[in-house]
């Protein structure tokens, strides 16, 4: 377990190194830059931002929606540059560093103790708490720097519940849809 705790310390350090890049990316999005719109839509059509991440690899994607909840942009992968996560072989493209991924994968493949689930749950809980807090902090900095208030939601991929980035409270898809009803 101690080895997995050290991995979360490494992950936190890596995320801190990546904070500047993610904050820059979020500033660009808030300013309507680096966004490719669909169906003849534009910046003024965007009513909310969505950010989702993959459970395993922590890769983040962004898209914007219009007031009806229809997708109004193409997706953007964030951060746009994954500083330091690309290993020497150049094949790794996940946000989580390959070294961390490999150690956890090896643990899952070879650990045989009765406490396997407890150890992995504790590791994952801390990892996701660190990851989410990192994203929230970057969002807050970007919002403060741009002085732009935008409805925005953050969640794990394909979930019914999301975190409202303006309040940091959980909200479900139905509650979000109600916000945009005429």
Which pLDDT band holds residue 181 (cuts at 50, 70, 90)?
Answer: confident
Is 46:73 a contact under the CB 8 Å cutoff? Answer: yes
Q: What is the pLDDT of residue 89?
A: 54
Instruction: Note the pLDDT of residue 83.
Output: 65
- A 10 A CB-CB count for 22 gives 25
Cα angle 132-133-135, degrees, rounded to a multiple of 5: 65
Cα distances (Å, whole numbers) of residue 97 to 24, 65, 71, 129, 181:
20, 30, 30, 17, 41
Give the integer Cα–Cα distance in Å for 133 and 43.
28
pLDDT of res. 86? 47
Q: Given pLDDT bands bounded at 50, 70 and 90, which one contains residue 11?
A: very high
Q: pTM for this one? A: 0.91
Cβ-contact 152, 171 below 8 angstroms = no
For 106, residues 6+ apart whose C-beta sits below 8 A from its C-beta are none
Q: How confident is the model at residue 98 (pLDDT cuts 50, 70, 90)?
A: very high
Looking at residue 169, what is its pLDDT?
A: 96
The ranges assigned to domains in the chain are 2-179
| Per-residue pLDDT at 2 | 81
């Amino acid at each position: 377990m101690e080895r997995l705790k050290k991995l979360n310390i490494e992950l936190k350090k890596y995320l801190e190194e990546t904070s500047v890049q993610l904050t820059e990316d979020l500033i660009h999005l808030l300013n309507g830059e680096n966004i490719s719109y669909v169906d003849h839509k534009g910046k003024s059509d965007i009513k909310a931002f969505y950010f989702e991440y993959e459970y395993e690899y922590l890769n983040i994607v962004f898209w914007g929606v219009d007031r009806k909840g229809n997708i109004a942009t193409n997706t953007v992968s964030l951060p746009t540059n994954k500083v330091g996560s690309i290993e020497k072989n150049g094949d790794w493209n996940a946000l989580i560093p390959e070294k961390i991924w490999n150690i956890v994968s090896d643990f899952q493949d070879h650990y045989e103790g009765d406490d396997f689930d407890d150890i992995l749950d504790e590791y994952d809980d801390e990892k996701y708490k660190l990851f989410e807090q990192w994203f929230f902090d970057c969002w807050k900095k970007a919002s403060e720097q741009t002085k732009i208030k935008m409805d925005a939601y953050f969640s794990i991929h394909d979930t019914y519940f999301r975190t409202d980035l303006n309040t940091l409270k959980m909200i479900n898809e139905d509650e979000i849809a109600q916000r945009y009803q005429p």
